Amino acid sequence: MKFSQVVYVLSCAASAIASRAVQGLHRRGDHVSPRPQIVYSPETPTTPPPTPKQRNVTCFVESHGDYATDDSEFILDAFHKCNNGGHVVFRESETYIIGTAMDWTFLQSIDIDIQGEILFSNDTTYWQANSFPFIFQNVTSFFKLGGDDVFIYGGGTLNGNGQVWYDAYAANIYTLRPVLVGVDGLTNSIVSDLVLRYSPEYYHFVANASNVVFNNIDIAGGSVSENPAKNTDGWDTYRSNSVTIQNSVINNGDDCVSFKPNSTNILVQSLFCNGSHGISVGSLGQYVGEYDIVEHVFVSNISMHNASDGARIKIWPNTASAVSGDLQGGGGDGRVNNITYTDFFIDNVDYAIEVDQCYGQKNLTLCLEYPSPLTITNVVFNGFQGVTSDHYMPQVANFACSSTTACSNIVSTDFDVLSPNGTNEAYCLNFEQEVLDGVTCVDTLLGFN
């Protein structure tokens, strides 16, 4: 063999060794998941959805494999090695333990292929001291997901180990429970084909995000003790623009989706929600001196079962109020504008529609004395059908505006929802019967939050 040939062979061998160092050692059965094809239906996002770039290198995440030792170092190592153009694989056969709060906001042009299970440790003392705080309603997260051109999929599971948190919160309502997926600053990205189980609190908190799609997410998880899993919202959006949530199944105990302050250009469609508090604008107006905006929201093709609400708008009054010891507020300002809820199937839901500007206040007289200055304009509730629960029977909806000037152009059309005894009454405060199709307005309030 000539010297030049020897040099070439050695060079190829060195390249192969370097490649394996980046990619990790392959095991029998290792594979890379194909990217899911995202279908937008019945609506297409107003902002062109992300089109992730192709990746050119693969990293398999190692684990200790003992279901006890923290694998966070292995995860960060793979993310750094395959950032900027790589494909990170969590093996199908593995359970990865996360016991360290990790900042993932550095991610750029990366596929994260979760085939196995990611299980967060049950060390409540550590997580309360080290999870990442957001600035809204005591929200913290196990990790912060951010960056640009991130594509997460694979069919695997994120498990929040929620039972220990449900029990801890029952003992102390000031327990800081992390959300399962904390988004901070994610752009032009897709999260699809994942299973989320047993979140301590919200399943997703989506903050400071732009042009992000959530597709085909399976959410479930409840308590096996007498202590319920509380505040387990499916998604909360906050200070985010152009977010799409679709084609998902949510079995939870709080809002299926909630649009928190400064959520704009949001599309939610084709969801099956069970056991929830509905799809909610708000709560808004919680903090004095803050101006909250939720506008340009389109919600379509929703199947709502065994819930407190179908479509909901919840606003704090202009006076101090409290839902609970750890959730208080009132006195903020803002606007809700251009919201469409359309094509809802209602099954055993307490209120098919609820517009409430007295959130957190049990004293209706105080709400009327201190009406919220937050305005609600250009809202359409269209194409609702089904049967409510008997909780507020004979009422099927609640339309309560704080004043005659706070609400305008709020209508229901093609509304065909009845209570179990066949009635269609709705409590109406500062609403005109003429704009509310399918309900009969009454002035007796049977229930409010």
Burial string for 10-40 (b: 16+ CB within 10 Å, else e) reads eeeeeeeeeeeeebbeeeeebeebebeebeb
CB contact at 8 A, 333 and 375:
no
Strand 327-329 and strand 321-324: the pairing is antiparallel
Backbone region of residue 129 per phi and psi (left: phi > 0; alpha: psi in -120 to 50; beta: other values): alpha
Looking from the CA of 425 toward its CB, the CA atoms found within 13 Å total: 14
Rounded CA gap, 354 and 306, in Å? Answer: 15
Q: Are 149 and 50 in contact (CB under 8 A)?
A: yes
Of 266, 265, 276, nearest in space to 311 by CA = 276
Separation of alpha carbons 145 and 366, rounded Å: 41
Of 80, 277, 305, 391, the catalytic one is 277
Return phi, psi of residue 88, to 5°: -100, 130
d(CA 221, CA 187): 28
80 is a catalytic site residue = no
Show which residues are catalytic.
277
